[in-house]
Structure 1
Amino acid sequence: MYVVFNMSELSNKQIKERLQHLTTLSIALNDIKNIKFLLERILHTARTITNADGGTLYRVSSDKKYLEFDILINASLDLHFGGSREKSDKMRSIPLALDNGEPNLEAVVAYAANRKESVNIEHVYDTPIFNFSGMRRFDEVYDYHCQSLLAVPMLDHNSELVGVLQLVNSMDNSSGEIQAFSTTDQLFIEALSSQAAIAITNQELILQLEDLLESLVNLINIGIDEKSANTGRHCQQVPKLTMMLADAVQSMEEGPLKDFSMSANERHELWLAGMLHDCGKITTPVHVIEKATKLQTIFDRIDLIDARFEILGRDAEIRYLKQLAQDSISPQLTQELHLELESLRSDRDFLAHANIGCERMKDEDLDRVMSIASGTWVDYKGVTQAFLTDNEVENLQIRGGTLTGDERKIINNHISVTIRMLETLPWPAHLQDIPEYAGGHHERMDGKGYPRGLRGEDMSVQARIMAIADIFEALTARDRPYKTGKTLSESLFILGKFSLNGHIDPDLFRIFVGKKVYLQYAHKYMHGVQIDEVDESKIPGYLT
């Protein structure tokens, strides 16, 4: 809609200059990734093309009910709100509909938005069909006079409204007087607005896809968390610690890692890799992830063994009472019963302790399990059974931890599954290293890790960083079903040993300690009782 327009034409030179501005903007729109800078560049180019004193850019709200103020620039008033600078609370959103539900055709930008038509006005306050109360308040506050105005809807490739670009007070190049926006001005701004709308839409689609990707990552972690709240927290904490250590490494000005650096995209890539580093655990059976004791499956089978001890004790007492019924009271018989019950209690306590898996089993402990297993008990059918089944013996003879060899393979397989899952995805160029970062956190510097047996030189710095974050979080975590969280000094001692035996990168470990990354993480995420005094001079591998 042309309310009023000026038919004065531009020289060929001026048209050529404007075409050059449009071309330059078209190229820039593909390169600018920050939406705030993008909007700023759009408004700046629009003002330059039309020699407008001021301009405002509005975008449609997510609920399609408002035009939300994004940026205002006015040269003569030296004002710049929004974009790369702070917004002003004086610049309010404009409703696209009235209280009665009818389209808002009173505000000029809402008119342009609802009708999807340009509005070109030579003398603002001589035009009675629009409500310019907001513009009048602006003029009063800043002692300004809005005279000419051009409002152009920004429509994307589907003719969907993205926003409205409003320009005020076109200035004559020669006299500096305010003039109306010409027909050529309007055509150029309509072309610019169309380009800008498509660029904004593309940027928003990219951001939406990135949000969708992160949401899918969180969806996977929610699935893991539902299986195991312990593992779920681990998936959230490892990326946080990974980024802390990465930042510390990037700050180094000397040493073997002084040249390490990451762009914003590379940081995002590492963060996502951290979030996905254990995604393969979604396939790991719950009873293996949550195995808190050696005999635990769906339930802890130590209760079955307790019941057998109860039966053996009861059988011993029954034999004793039967003997008493036949013979007189015998001190020797009473002593034998006492010794037998005491032996049963001792064996029962031993197996209960062994079942926890908190201490490494000695050879004599393994022999004692076999000795107990060689005993027998009579089940409810009267059938004599071995006191411990082969599976119970296998589990109770685990030297350290709670997992059997087969269960350890199942747990370790999660990283192979993680790699397979991640390598099947069509990652864009700026995220293509995620499978390597996430899939390398169980590899070792000496090549004895899994699943690929890579050596330190075969792994990226990012993968080696994540390996340290993964181990430290696991050591300090208090929510594991099979252990308590270690203190800072205990965790650093173990990690230091790992730096010496070829498990983790010693250079990264020294940065981890020297830059106090461990303390930064501890104060944010560890329980106070775990944060003890650390004597860094006693940490293995740190000062060597």
Structure 2
Amino acid sequence: MGGTGGRITWPPVALFNADGTPNHANVSAFVALSGKTVNILDVYDAEGFNFQGTRAFDAETGYRSKSMLVVPLRNHENDIIGVLQLLNARKAADGETVFFSQESQEITESLASQAAVALTNNRLIHDLENLLEAYVRTIATAIDEKSPYTGGHVRRVVEIAMHLAAKINAADSGPFANISFSKNELQELRIAAWLHDVGKITTPEHIVDKATKLETVHDRIDLLKTRLEVIRRDHEIAVMKEYLLSKRLALPEALAEEQQRFSRTMNEDCRFLDDVNRGGEAMSEERIRRLQGIASRSWEENGRPRPAINEDEVRNLSIPKGTLTDEERDIVNNHAVVTAKILSQLPFPKKLSRIPDFASGHHEHLNGTGYPLGLKGDQLPLQTRILALADIFEALTAKDRPYKKGKTLSEALEILTGMVEDGHIDPDLFAFFMEKRIHLDYARRALAPQQLDTDGI
């Protein structure tokens, strides 16, 4: 009973009574509390201990308990961590039940010390594994908390990845019918999922959190608006100067209309720059030409002409899609390299040795166009493909990203379908993901009601 083969159904032995006094009536509790070995010739004739439980067991099973040896288990620090209880010593010759001899007691006490060491080692291994997973979750939480916009991303990727792995283990048909992740492989995948973004610990926050194209430590859009306001006022002042110098009694209608037109243009340009800065719409050639036209205007600072929008600002506002420049995107993408570098230095046990590869490969594509190594096809294990799909799906539907709204479920699935067609993600895995309704289970738990616009079936 118990061990690795079955669940222990017997209730635990209480070391203390309800009133807090030591439970010396139970022989196992007495040995655990006192540290003394107890050697009993016949439990039915023994005094000082309550063997009602033993008698009940015998009556239920037909067994006859007689001799008993109870030995404390002491660890390397001499702490008692349990007891070893033996029943019914037997003669080797005929199997007759006899008492435990002094020699048998000494041998058992010696073996008990070895058993205590083995039990302690087993507990240490278990405790170290628990400590490792707790530490991993702590690091992942710290990465998430580093940015107010990605909080919960890692946890959600773990949730999606492990749900997908569990469904694969349960599959009895299709391309994954013969695949079954072992307990160790599931642990390896789970830890890799928790650590897949650990490299972002080195990514500057102002890049991770870059909500607009002009954002650095702060959003520079207000500087541009201020300059345009200066240009508008300079124009108005110039008009008024012309009027004053003409010594007319009233501002000519043409000048008044020109001033109003110019003010409207400045206001429209400010709204345009606001829209461009958010990065929600791709930059067409027409939008870039308009941006360059605004940038060609100038204003004066201490008598020196200054551009309305400088070169760096034009470059940032001209970003075709999203809010990151090529250099900033390279910095963000480098987190996969840093993840591999960090994790490869950790002495993972053999059963967890592939964690660095799984964690750092979640941006690789089946067709070799991903990063950091450009791996493709069979070079990408199933665990890496699972993490890639989980990471992309979570990122597409996330409600807390600074640079975009969370996609609706239909939009996310359409994008993922396109990525399958482009050779980025595993087609069999995505089909399985859809077939088992993993996307829908997650969406119902994690997405906003307005994002649930389809069941995707």
TM over 0.5: yes
SS of alignment partner, residue 118 of structure 2: helix
1:127 Cα deviation from its structure 2 partner? 6.5
Percent of pairs identical after alignment? 42
Q: In 2, Cα distance between the equivalents of 1:137 and 1:154?
A: 22
- Mean alpha-carbon deviation: is it higher for 357-366 or for 107-116? 107-116
Moved more, 310-319 or 329-338: 310-319
- Aligned residue for 1:360, secondary structure, equals coil
Matching residue of 2:399: 478
CA distance, structure 1, for counterparts of residue 98 and residue 200 of structure 2: 68
Shift of 1:208: 1.4
Instruction: Please give the alpha-carbon distance, in whole angstroms, between the structure 2 residues aligned to 1:180 and 1:410.
Output: 75
Confirm whether residue 197 of structure 1 aligns to residue 120 of structure 2.
no
Residue 454 of structure 1 is aligned with which of 370, 375, 399? 375
Cα deviation 1:41-81 (Å, max 9, x = unaligned): xxxxxxxxxxxxxxxxxxxxxxxxxxxxxxxxxxxxxxxxx
Match of 2:208 in 1: 289
Q: Report if the CA contact (8 A) 1:109-1:151 is conserved.
A: yes
Structure 2 alignment gaps of length 5 or more: none
With over 3 angstroms needed to count, the CA separation of the structure-2 counterparts of 1:153 and 1:366, relative to structure 1, is same
Does residue 354 in structure 1 map to residue 276 in structure 2?
yes
Query: Shift in Å at residue 352 of structure 1?
Result: 0.3
- Structure 1 residue 317, shift from structure 2 partner: 3.4
Q: 2:433 aligns with which of 495, 499, 512?
A: 512
Partner SS for 2:83: strand
Alignment CA distance shift 1:93-1:525 (3 Å) = farther
Of 341, 344, 366, the match for 1:445: 366
1:366 partnered with 2:288: yes
Quote the residue 2:257 is aligned against: 335
2:449 corresponding residue in structure 1:
528
Find the partner of 2:344 among 408, 423, 434.
423
Alpha-carbon distance between aligned partners in 1 of 2:379 and 2:95, rounded to the nearest angstrom: 66
Query: Are 1:227 and 2:146 an aligned pair?
Result: yes
Q: 3-state SS of the aligned residue for 1:94? A: coil
1:433 equivalent in structure 2 = 354
- For residue 266 of structure 2, the aligned residue among 305, 329, 344 is 344
Structure 1 residue 447, shift from structure 2 partner:
0.9
Aligned length: 451
Q: Which moved more, 1:435-444 or 1:407-416?
A: 435-444
Q: Does 1:187 align with 2:187?
A: no
Query: For the Cα contact (< 8 Å) 1:124–1:149, is it kept in 2?
Result: yes
Q: 1:197: how far off?
A: 1.6
* Corresponding residue for residue 61 of structure 1: none
Which position in structure 2 is the counterpart of 1:317? 236
Provide the C-alpha distance between the structure 1 equivalents of 2:58 and 2:270, rounded to a whole number of angstroms.
87
Distance 1:187 1:165, change over 3 A: same
What SS does the corresponding residue of 1:378 show, helix, strand or coil?
Answer: strand
Is residue 118 from structure 1 mapped to residue 37 from structure 2 by the alignment? yes
- 2-structure distance, mates of 1:125, 1:534: 68
Number of the residue aligned with 2:316: 395
Q: CA deviation at 1:150?
A: 2.7
TM-score, structure 1 as length reference: 0.75
Give the deviation of 1:169 after TM superposition: 6.3
Contact 1:227–1:286 at 8 Å: present in 2 too? yes
Does the alignment pair 1:411 with 2:332?
yes
Shift of 1:126: 7.0
Q: Is the 8 A contact 2:144 2:153 kept in 1?
A: no
Kept in 2: contact 1:249–1:508 (CA 8 A): no
What secondary structure, in the 3-state scheme, does the structure 2 residue paired with 1:444 have? coil
| CA distance 1:382–1:136, change in 2 (3 Å) | farther
Q: How does 1:488-507 map to 2 (within 5 A)?
A: 488-507=409-428
Aligned counterpart, 1:165: 84
Distance 2:404 2:272 in 1: 19
* SS of structure 2 residue aligned to 1:231: coil
- Matches of residues 256-275 of structure 1 in structure 2 within 5 Å? 256-275=175-194
Equivalents in 2 of 1:335, 1:364: separation in Å? 27
Over residues 372-397 of structure 1, what are the superposed CA-to-partner deviations in whole Å (9 max), with x where a residue is unaligned?
A: 11111234x45431111221111100
TM-score w.r.t. the length of structure 2 is: 0.88
CA–CA distance in 2 between the matches of 1:316 and 1:86?
A: 89
Alpha-carbon distance, 1:108 to partner: 4.1
The 2-side partners of 1:99 and 1:511 are apart by 57
Question: Equivalent of 1:376, from 262, 276, 298?
Answer: 298
1:470 to 1:114, Cα distance in 2 relative to 1, 3 A: same
Give 1:342 shift.
0.5
Write the distance in 2 (CA, Å) between the matches of 1:289 and 1:530: 24
